[in-house]
A and B are shown apart, each in its own frame.
Chain A
Amino acid sequence: EDQVTQSPEALRLQEGESSSLNCSYTVSGLRGLFWYRQDPGKGPEFLFTLYSAGEEKEKERLKATLTKKESFLHITAPKPEDSATYLCAVLLGNEKLTFGTGTRLTIIP
């Protein structure tokens, strides 16, 4: 069965303390991997799309990487406004996005 697992479930960091979020997947026919940010009660906001192993994308303090079995979202020198739930999703051949349960990130000033 296709599965997406995110870890840790929750992460508290001091402002400026860099870390990484993990998304591991066991799927067949991966067509793309997506990272979204979601604030409480709102819709997911698109961050990155990765299509092949070795690919990397960067945006401000965030950097996403992809291997054959997992993706990492690296956050460098985070600020309190980076606090949110970060969702990983894989796109399969049936056009369906399968999401993980997310990592709830809290940045403490």
Chain B
Amino acid sequence: ETGVTQSPTHLIKTRGQQVTLRCSSQSGHNTVSWYQQALGQGPQFIFQYYREEENGRGNFPPRFSGLQFPNYSSELNVNALELDDSALYLCASSKGGTDTQYFGPGTRLTVL
């Protein structure tokens, strides 16, 4: 069984640029959630996708957007990058509902 994978592992961008992060969900999972984790903090919920539709959103501005594809993989897009967007971005997949969310290894984004 393949776990959750994310790409790229690391990314360096400059302020004002745009970035796309990718996530492949675990086999049999139809729900993907994205989290932002700043250094020394717990992950903060960005949004969740269920069967290609957004299914809940945290307190993040509209420049954070996402997609889910028919194979349940997902993208996180961030426009107009700011210095505070530097963080570890985590993707988690689940079967939905109260099922456990399994996390990928994360993408470390640095904004200069």
Interface residues of A (CB under 8 A from B): 4, 31-32, 34, 36, 41-46, 49, 51, 87, 89, 91, 94-102
Residue of A at shortest CB range from B108?
A41
Q: Name B106's contact: one of A31, A32, A42 (CB within 8 Å).
A: A42
Query: Does any Cβ of A come within 8 Å of B66's Cβ?
Result: no
18 contacts between A and B (CB under 8 A): A32-B98, A36-B103, A41-B88, A41-B106, A43-B103, A43-B104, A43-B105, A44-B43, A44-B90, A87-B42, A89-B42, A89-B43, A95-B31, A95-B33, A95-B48, A96-B45, A97-B33, A101-B40
* Cα distance A98–B98 in the bound complex, in angstroms: 13
Given contacts A41-B108, A44-B90, contact A97 B101 (CB under 8 A): yes
* Cα distance A101–B12 in the bound complex, in angstroms: 25
User: Which A residues are in CB contact (< 8 Å) with B106?
Assistant: 41-43
User: Which A residues are in CB contact (< 8 Å) with B102?
Assistant: 46
Contact, CB under 8 Å: B42 / A46: no
User: Which A residues are in CB contact (< 8 Å) with B41?
Assistant: 101
Q: Mark B77-112, 1 if CB is under 8 A from A, else 0.
A: 000000000001010100011101111111010000
Q: Name B42's contact: one of A42, A49, A99 (CB within 8 Å).
A: A99
Instruction: Say how far B107's CB is from chain A's closest CB, in angstroms.
Output: 10
Query: Does any Cβ of A come within 8 Å of B27's Cβ?
Result: no
Query: Does any Cβ of A come within 8 Å of B8's Cβ?
Result: no
Residue of A at shortest CB range from B10?
A41
Not counting A44-B103, A101-B40, a sample of 19 additional A-B residue pairs whose C-beta atoms are within 8 angstroms of each other reads A4-B42, A42-B106, A43-B4, A43-B6, A43-B105, A46-B101, A46-B102, A89-B42, A89-B43, A94-B56, A95-B33, A95-B55, A97-B43, A97-B45, A97-B101, A99-B43, A99-B44, A100-B42, A102-B42
